[in-house]
Structure 1
Amino acid sequence: MQNILNLIIPILSIILIGYAAGKFKILKVETSDILTRFLFFFCLPSLTFSNIYQSKLEDLLNYRFLFTFLSGMLIVITLQYLLYNRLFHIRGQELVMLTMGGFYANIVYMGVPVTSLILSSVIPPLIALFLQASFFFPLSIFLMDQFCEPKPKRDRFGTILLVVKNPILIASFLAILSLVLKIHYPQFLISTFELMGKPAATTGLFVLGFTSNLPAGSMISKHEMKMALIASFFKVIVQPLIAFLIGKYLFRLDAWWLSAAVICSMLPTAVNHFIVSQKYHSCGNESRLIILFTTIGFCIMISCYLLIFGVIQ
C-alpha cells in the first residue's frame, strides 16, 4: 500500500500544484499555451525519439499489446454508439463528441508521466499515442466536419496534414526508421534528446492541472450530467476491463504488458476533447465534466488496480 501511495500521491500533487497556479493566477493564462507548445514541440518528441531508439524493435511491434488496446477502443466505440444512438436517439456532432469522450485517452499529459513512474517505460503509451493520433483523432475531426452546417471547406489533404505535422509522430517514425536501418547516432546526440525529454513527465502533469481551470459554461442540465457520467464509465471502467480480459485470455500478455494495456486503456479523457468541443460548439459542458470525472476516476481505479495486482517493474 505504501508503494502505491508513493506512486499516486506525487502524481496528484503535481496536478494540484498546476491547478493552484491557474486558480490563484500565479501564472498568466497564456502560460498554458507556452508550456503546451514546449511540451509538444520539444520535450515529447525528444522523449519519444530517445525511448524508441533505445528500445528493441520487437517491443515496438508487439502486435498483441497493440491489438489488445485497439480491441478495447473499438468495442467501447461500438457499445457507446449503440447506447447513445438507439437508447437516447443522439445523432451528429453530439454522438461523435460523447463517443470520443469515452475512448480518447490523455496519453500526453497523463499516460507518459504515469507509465514512466509505474512501469519505468513510456513505450506502451507511445504506441497507443501513435494509434490515436494517426487515425482516431483525424477520423473524429473528419466526422465533426461532416456534421457541420454548412460544411467547412477543407482540401483533400487537410486531414492528412494533421498527422504529418505532428512532431511526436515524426519523431516516432524517424526513431523506428533508424532501428530498421540500424543507424547509429553519437552518444552525445542521444544524451541531448534524453535531457530534453526529462521535463516531459512533470510538465505534462502540471499543464493538466493548470488547464483544469476551464472557462465557466452555462448551467449544467441533468441530460448533460447523465451523458458525461456514461462516457466516464466507459472510459475508466469498461475499456480497461475489456483490455484486461482480451489481453489476459485472448492474447496471453505477460504481467508487464498486461498492466501497460490496462493502464493505457484506463487513462482519463484528453484535454483535446474540450478543445474540439469549443471549436465546434458541441457538448461543451459534457466535455468539462468528462475530463473532470475521468481524471478523478482514473486516480481511484489505478490505485485499486495496483492494490490488487501490485506494481509491475
Structure 2
Amino acid sequence: MEEFMSKMLVSDLIPIIAVMALGYAAGKRNVFQEDQARVLNKLVLDFALPAALFVSIVKADRAMLVENATLSLISLIGLVVLFMLSYFTLQWFFKRSKAEGAVCALIAGSPTIGFLGYAVLDPLYGTGVETGLVIAIVAIVVNAVTIPLGLYLLNAGGGGEKTADGAPHGNALLAAMKEPVVWVPVLAVALVVIGVQVPDQFDPTFNLLAQANSSVAVFAAGLTLSAYKIELDWEVAYNTAFKLILMPGVFLLAGWACGLDATILQMLVLSVALPPAFSGIIISSRFQVYTRTGTSTLAVCVLGFIVAAPFWVYLARLAGGN
C-alpha cells in the first residue's frame, strides 16, 4: 500500500498539482488574458478531449460489455443515478439554478477516469485485462452518457450556447448533440456496439491530438482557478464529500451486494473515487457557469483524494475478503 501511494503521488497527483499551479501562476501574472484562456478551453473541449474519448472507447469491444453485464449495469445505473442526485440536491440544498446543477454534476458526480484511470490503477493492480475492463466500462458511461446528459441539462437550464440577443440557442438536445464532446463518444460507442473495429493505423493520428487533452485541460483549470479565490464553504465541502465519500461508498455496497469479483470491486470503487472530471471544469469555464465553486471543488478533491484513496482500497479489500 505504501508503494502504491508513493507511486500515485509521484506519477499522478504531484504532476496534476504542479501543472495546475503553473496555470494558476500564469493567470495571476496575466501571462494569459481571459479570452486566451477560453481559446485553450475550446481547444480541449472541441478537439483534444473528443479525440481522447474516441480513442479510449473504441478500444473496448461488444463481447467485453456482454460478458461483464453486472459490472456494466452497476456502472451505468450507479453513475447516472449519482449524477442526477448531484444535479437535484444542489438545487434543493443550495438554491442553485438548473444550469449550475448540471455543471456541478459534471464535476462532483463524474470521476476523471480517462485521465487518471490507468495511471492510478496500474501501479496497484497491474496492466492486465481486468484493469482495462473496469476503466473502459466506467469511461464509456462517463464520456458517452453523463457528459452528453450534463450538456443537455446545461442547455435546457439556459446555460449553454446563446443567440446574439442572449436567448437559448434552439432545442437543448440538438444544441448538446452539436458539441463534439457529445457526438464523438456516442459515435464511438455505436461503433463498439455494432462491432466495427477502427484500424490501428489511425491510432497515431488520434493519439497525437488526444495527448494535448490532459496537460492543456489541467493548465486551463489552473488559469480558471486564478480568476477566483478558492472557497472552503459548505457547498464545496458537500461536493467534496459527494465525490470522495458518497460515490465510492455507494459503489462499494452495490458491487459487494451483486457479488462482483474482489479485484474488480476494488478497482471499481477506486475508479469512482477519482477526483472530478476535468471536462466539467472546462465546460464550466467555457460557458461561465459555476466556475468559482466548481474550480474550488476540483482543487479540494485533488488534495482529498490523497487521503481517500488508501481508505477505499482498504475497505474494498475487506469487503472482497482480501
Output the CA distance in 1 between the equivalents of 2:247 and 2:50.
Answer: 30
Partner Cα separation in structure 2 for residue 88 and residue 238 of structure 1: 18
Q: Does 1:18 align with 2:25?
A: no
Q: Provide the alpha-carbon RMSD of the alignment.
A: 3.9
Normalising by the residue count of structure 1, what TM-score does the alignment of the two structures yield?
0.74
Do the aligned partners of 1:92 and 1:147 also contact (CA within 8 Å) in 2?
yes
* Corresponding residue to 2:244 among 229, 233, 236: 236
What displacement does 1:12 show?
2.1
Aligned to 1:7: 7
Distance 1:101 1:170 in 2: 23
Match of 1:210 in 2: 219
Q: Which residue of 1 aligns with 2:142?
A: 132
The alpha-carbon distance between structure 1 residues 300 and 23, as it changes in their structure 2 partners (threshold 3 A), is same
Deviation sequence 1:83-127 (CA, Å, 0-9, x none):
444444444323333344321222222234333444423332332
Number of aligned residues: 296
Q: 2:78 aligns with which of 61, 69, 72?
A: 72
What are the equivalent positions in structure 2 for 1:85-234 lying under 5 Å apart?
85-119=91-125, 120=127, 121-148=131-158, 151-155=167-171, 157-162=174-179, 166-178=183-195, 190=200, 193=203, 206-207=215-216, 209-215=218-224, 216-218=226-228, 225-234=233-242
Contact 1:103 1:234 in 2 (8 A): yes
| Closer, same or farther: CA 159–19 of 1 in aligned 2, 3 Å | closer
Native 8 Å contact 1:14 1:205 kept in 2: no
Cα distance change of structure 1 residues 85 and 256 upon mapping to structure 2, 3 Å threshold: same
**Alpha carbons of structure 1 residues 93 and 309: separation in structure 2 relative to 1, 3 Å:** closer
C-alpha distance in 2 between matches for 1:135 and 1:236: 21
TM-score, normalised relative to structure 2: 0.72
Q: In 1, distance between residues paired with 2:83 and 2:96? A: 14
Please give the alpha-carbon distance, in whole angstroms, between the structure 2 residues aligned to 1:20 and 1:89: 31
Q: How does 1:38-77 map to 2 (within 5 A)?
A: 39-40=48-49, 45-49=54-58, 51-52=59-60, 57-59=63-65, 62-77=68-83
Query: Residues 259 and 211 (structure 1 numbering): CA distance in 2 closer, same or farther, change over 3 Å?
Result: farther
Contact persistence 1:232–1:290 (CA under 8 A): yes
Match of 2:298 among 287, 291, 307: 291
| Residues 177-220 of structure 1: CA deviation (Å, up to 9, x unaligned) | 337xxx7x9xxx548748975997x8665445433423333556
Structure 1 portions without partners, runs of 5+:
none
Give secondary structure in 1 for the equivalent of 2:222.
Answer: coil
Match for residue 303 of structure 1?
310
SS in 2 for 1:153: coil
1:245 corresponds to 2:261 = no
Is 1:254 the counterpart of 2:288 in the alignment?
Answer: no
Moved more, 202-211 or 98-107: 202-211
Residue 193 to residue 274, structure 1, CA distance change in 2 (3 Å): closer
CA 1:144–1:89 in 2, change beyond 3 Å: closer, same or farther?
Answer: same
Q: Is 1:263 matched up with 2:270?
A: yes
What is the identity, as a one-letter code, of the residue corresponding to 1:274? I
Name the residue aligned to 2:162: none
Q: Return the offset for 1:7.
A: 3.1
Cα deviation digits, residues 208-252 of structure 1 (max 9, x gap): 543342333355677xx3212111110111011000001101x11
* Greater mean deviation of Cα atoms: 78-87 or 117-126: 78-87
Structure 1 residues 19 and 58: CA distance shift in structure 2, 3 A: closer
